[in-house]
Structure 1
Amino acid sequence: MAAALARAGMMPNARGHGAIFTLHHVRPKQSRPLQPSGHLEVTPDFLGEAIERLSAEGYEFIPLSDVPARLAAPTKQPFAAFTLDDGYRNNAEYALPVFARYGVPFTIFVTRGFAERTHSLWWETVAELLGREREVTFDFGGGSDILDLTSEARKFDAFDRFSSYVLEVEESTAVSRVDALARKHGIDPLKITADLTMNAEELRSVAVHPLASLGAHTVSHRAVARLSAEDARAEMKQSSDWIEALTGERPQTIAYPYGSRAAVSERDYAIAKEIGFSVAVTTQPGTLCAKYVNRLTGLPRISLNGYYQQPRYVSALASGIPFVIGR
């Protein structure tokens, strides 16, 4: 419906001046026992189709760091900036060649703890655990629960329970307990981190590409809104310090982990500005209009959803109409 409204010229102001797109995994379709985060995966072919569709609709592709200038002095031509979260190795293996083919700049947001192999990707750990087991026992806070994993639906329900647990209790403690459960079942969470994400040397190699930029994504990938102001500031600053030491350039941009309204607050927007970031992005959906000139450390992004890998959906999202209707 949104694409049809846009083609009909309805709600033209919803498009704003442009949009920031967010990706996570970019890789060929995977065949795995459980894929609860399938919405965070797109194929290289779809990424290329998305770029072609936006180009056909007149978008100019710009680095994320150029967004403030474009919002301050907008042109008639809309802009698009591409970002990728977490520093997955497939970003270099599959996404970079697509961006290079079309000459599209992009920013990879790096979680220091993943690159240094000191922190796990709990959602990947849980998916691996639930995908291979038929039953697990875990205490979510009310005593031990035995989780029946004998069907895909039950596995997805269990994944939702673990997700709620991590995002509702003290996060580092929750992740530590999830990791301990995984190890009990023969899974090494830090090996998953090493298998999926780039290390320092790989990131350094990507950073020298003329189209690539590295942005900060904290140290531990915890929701900053749930941390003290001191800890939130340390997570952001230490992530930035590490990237500067790695590449010789201080990152101008940061993405807040998770990026939802519950995961990042007005306090955190102010901290990011104080630290010196020129742009900070959330995962709250929307296009960019003039009001964001004064809110550059709290910008929305549009997620390219793995469940909707058709160019028409890119057009619909870029129109901004779904977000206006949603509000």
Structure 2
Amino acid sequence: MPAFRDCLIHTGMTLFRASGAHRLAAPFTRGLGAILMFHRVRPAPREHFAPNAGLEITPSFLDAVLLRLRAQGYDILSLDDALEPLRQRRPSQRPFVVLTFDDGYRDLVDHALPILERRRAPFVAYVTSGFADRTARLWWLELEEAIRRLARVDVTVGGHRVTAPCATAREKRAVHSTLYWRLRGGDETALRDAVGALAARAGVNPETVAAEACLDWAGVAALARHELATIGAHSLTHPRLAWLGAEDARREMAESRARIAAGAGATPRHFCYPVGDPTSAGRREFDLAAQLGFESAVTTQPGMLFPEHRDHLCALPRLSVNGRYQSLAALDVLLSGAPFALFNRGRRVAT
């Protein structure tokens, strides 16, 4: 299914770029604007095995994106400034985008921030508190590093044993794809147990992975003081909330806000659902975010913002700007909203 979905997305993007149909549809499909989703911003990996490269863009591409947005007449707004017209039922006359960066990676400061400063672009940093204090695990990075180090994997995932060679880059990519989607098909405990066993066998230290990848509290606090930054909450441990019991899900959301307030000196008013697809965040989670007093919450469900979202501020869609479609032509297709009018079958609010 993932391979079929990726093929379908690639085919759709190619057809839109070739036909230009997205430009004709844009006046009807682009809505008021969009929330753009980024993860890592750093120089491109040099090796052939880089399974998480889809979550990364280069600094030069981020700069090109910001220049393109301004050249096409988009306002780059803070999340608060973007939401206020929606709340007041008086949407802006100019299209806008909001820039969001998930997880709290170090490269947001090292590589993205100088560009954001130069272009005077406000942004939201959604911080996973457990990554900042090194108590939560970036299991997808642990998985990558374990497979990189091992010549063969032998691990049990959800009661099924997976054993395969992974000495070459091709074998590593194949094993990673198999394990990743099996892990995503199981619950959070099984996922972390399996990755933990594999990481231990490969000598991968979860705390070291988090320390190398993510900002500590001093870094988050410094970012919170930046005039362009808004700090949002992204849970305690980055679980798929819909897979947890209601009380555990509530705790992940509420305590992450409290820990960020204590560690960074800024109380988050906005939330970001980990993973954020329909299997990871749904009506229960949207209601929880509202009950906890968050002013907004974002998903990873693709779509544009429309006036109708004023009644769904805890279920906001985002557009993923990622390494798989790292081109300005692809950005233009995304910003037209045309693919999502088809993907969401004409529904403006997909909840």
**Normalised by the shorter chain, which TM-score bucket?**
over 0.9
Matches within 5 A, 1:102-251: 102-142=119-159, 144-251=161-268
**Residue in 2 aligned with 1:21?**
36
Larger RCO: Structure 1 or Structure 2 (Cα < 8 Å, ≥ 6 residues apart)?
1
**Residue in 2 aligned with 1:283?**
300
Amino-acid identity (%)? 36
**Residue in 2 aligned with 1:38?**
53
- 2:154 partner SS: strand
- 1:258 equivalent among 258, 265, 275: 275
| Corresponding letter in the other structure for 1:293 | R
**C-alpha separation in 2, matches of 1:214 and 1:269:** 19
The alignment of Structure 1 onto Structure 2 pairs a total of residues equal to 326
- Contact residue 217 and residue 255 of structure 1 kept, 8 A: yes
- 2:162 partner SS: strand
- 2:78 equivalent among 30, 44, 63: 63
TM-score (norm 1): 0.95
Superimposed CA distance per residue, residues 52-94 of structure 1 (whole angstroms, 9 cap, x where no aligned partner): 1111111111111233213232122011000011100000111
**C-alpha separation in 1, matches of 2:82 and 2:341:** 21
**Aligned Cα root-mean-square deviation (Å):** 1.6
| Corresponding letter in the other structure for 2:155 | F
- 1:299 equivalent among 308, 312, 316: 316
Superimposed CA distance per residue, residues 249-277 of structure 1 (whole angstroms, 9 cap, x where no aligned partner): 32111110000000001010000001111
**Residue in 1 aligned with 2:6?**
none
Is 1:5 the counterpart of 2:21? The answer is yes
**Alpha carbons of structure 1 residues 246 and 140: separation in structure 2 relative to 1, 3 Å:** closer
- 2:148 partner SS: helix
Gaps of 5+ in 2: 1-14, 346-351
| Corresponding letter in the other structure for 2:283 | E
**C-alpha separation in 1, matches of 2:144 and 2:119:** 34
**C-alpha separation in 2, matches of 1:173 and 1:142:** 9
- Contact residue 149 and residue 202 of structure 2 kept, 8 A: no
| Corresponding letter in the other structure for 1:291 | E
- How many Å apart are 1:144 and its aligned residue? 3.5
**C-alpha separation in 2, matches of 1:110 and 1:319:** 29
- Contact residue 233 and residue 268 of structure 2 kept, 8 A: yes
**C-alpha separation in 2, matches of 1:153 and 1:288:** 40
- 2:63 equivalent among 48, 53, 57: 48
Gaps of 5+ in 1: none
| Corresponding letter in the other structure for 1:65 | D
- 1:307 partner SS: helix
